[in-house]
Amino acid sequence: MLQNNKIKKVVIAGGGTAGWVAAAALAKKLGTLLEVTLVESDQIGTVGVGEATIPPMRIFHSLLGIDEQEFMRATEATFKLGISFKNWGQVGDQYFHPFGTTGQGSFLADFQHFYLHGKSRGIDAPFAEYCLEAQAAKLDKFATSKNGAINYAYHLDATRYAKYLRKFSESHGLQRIEGKIQQVQQHTSGDIKALVLESGQIVEGDLFIDCTGFLGLLIEKTLKVAYEDWTHWLPCDSAIPLQTASVVPAVPYVTCTAHQAGWQWHIPLQHRVGNGLVYCSEFQTDEDAKQTLLNNIQGEILTEPRVIKYQTGRRKAFWSKNCIALGLSSGFVEPLESTSIYLFMNGIVRLMRMFPFNGISQYIVDEYNNQSIEEIENVRDFIILHYHATDREDSEFWRYCKNMQIPDSLAHRLELFKHNANAFQGERELFRLESWTHVMFGQGIKPKSYHQIFSTMSDQELSTHLANIRRTIASAADKLPQHASFVGQYCRSEN
């Protein structure tokens, strides 16, 4: 470990989304204190997917001073208000997981208790009707607002996003080196000393960020940090992405449709649609999966379908010696809730906040690892919830998911909700209490009991109160412009 060595030179290995996100943040925020270099190889290329995001991306962009309209034009981006889930609890079911707040709770009881109380007295409006983002999505409407009334994220073109961040990083002094890394040199301590490129060029550094994707060239191949496998909880291990031309105006949400052995994504950009099938190779062949995808898309096919293989799980340590793994080299939960980009954006911010300018100590390494592990494990539980809390028994895959053992942390949450309708959001947890409730209700969980604080309200009071929330939301959603026309005037791409 480089205990007392000052850290001046940071080398990022890999120029996929993770590499360029790390480069942009370091160059812009610490570029005056550090020398930042990125090595990437056009020969190897990037995974080229990862097009749906979640709201914290906006905070990351504002930290870097990225202009929203410019970024959206450059990446053919559209807005995302949440995810529409089809066929998850049961074939034919549909529910929406929105980004915004839902209803209005009280100090003693969150809104789902209020909602359940209403239901018990015959007020049967769906949970989503208490959320502006869900209602706007239902009407295909959207507008940004200065007061932040609408919570949103983006759908973007991953390749264009990497290019955009490259330009941004280079304008802030980042040095980019094109070349294939052939060898990694180490100090006798085991710390990484330099990357040796195919051309013979040697790129030395004090701190290395491994963004080489599933390969994990530094963290795995060099430092031999093991991988914790989560396949028994998240069994999908294959994906086929496919781009098609848009045939209808872009909607402000992702659609995730469950199939026989996995699920399909639909991500609408300005000029095209990102589609893909995620599946479990134990229950579906690649050929069959390709056919399932081709049978369920619309519009002219723009790319060749290709199979991506992956293993869900996480690196046992995200930071080892003088190397930090970011992006796919650090682990992969799976893309269902669009969390990967968020995880490495947060990872690089975490690193910058703890940056070891005067040498790496084990305390910093441990703290970074503890925080990162807690964060990804919470995300993991949220994703498992979608697969496990289902009534589907129509295929071997769904029977497996329904009956599999789940992590204790998730089992606890599920029991808490089933028994008393209680949900919670931990301190370092990405998904809000409302995300948990929307998905738990959406997947068909019906709590046996709930808080009685609202039982003192008369039927009339309760019904008027809930109707007023729904009316206010419906009226606000109705006033918004159509999403596609808003995108057209706000950030139309010239591409």
Catalytic sites, residue numbers:
80
**In this structure, how many other beta carbons lie within 10 angstroms of the beta carbon of residue 122?**
8
Please give the structure tokens belonging to residue 494: 């010239």
| Distance of closest approach, residue 436 Cβ to ligand FAD, in angstroms | 20
The answer to whether 419 and 447 are in contact (CB under 8 A) is: yes
* Among 306, 299, 341, 334, residue whose Cα is nearest residue 80: 341
Of 123 and 196, which has the nearer Cβ to ligand FAD? 196
Instruction: Kindly report the backbone phi and psi dihedral angles of residue 354, in degrees, each rounded to the nearest multiple of 5, phi listed first.
Output: -105, 15
Give the shortest CB-458-to-ligand FAD separation in angstroms. 47
**Helix residue spans in 309-407 (DSSP H):** 340-353, 362-388, 396-403
Query: HEC string of 41-80?
Result: CCCCCCCCCCCECCCHHHHHHHHHCCCHHHHHHHHCCEEE
Compute the half-sphere exposure of residue 130: CA atoms within 13 Å on the CB side of its CA: 24
Binding site for ligand FAD (CB under 6 A): 14-19, 39-41, 44-47, 49-53, 158, 180-181, 211-213, 215, 217, 239, 241, 276, 308, 310, 327-329, 335, 338-341
Beta carbon of residue 51, minimum distance to ligand FAD (angstroms, whole number): 5
Minimum distance from CB of 40 to ligand FAD (Å)?
4
User: What is the token pair recorded at 213?
Assistant: 């994707």
What's CA 304's distance to the chain center, in Å? 25
What is the Cα–Cα distance from 325 to 309, expressed in whole angstroms? Answer: 20
CB of 155 to ligand FAD, least distance (A): 8
Token look-up 């918004």 returns 480
Closest to 41 in 3D by CA, of 221, 186, 199, 214:
199
Nearest Cα to Cα of residue 270 among 138, 98, 73, 70: 73
Q: Which is nearer to ligand FAD, 33 or 59 (CB)?
A: 59
Shortest Cβ 21–ligand FAD spacing (Å): 8
Q: Which two tokens stand for residue 28?
A: 């812009």
Based on CB atoms, which residue is closest to ligand FAD, 262 or 447? 262
User: Closer CB to ligand FAD, residue 315 or residue 321?
Assistant: 315
53 or 422: whose CB is closer to ligand FAD?
A: 53
Give 110 or 429: the residue with its C-beta nearer to ligand FAD.
429
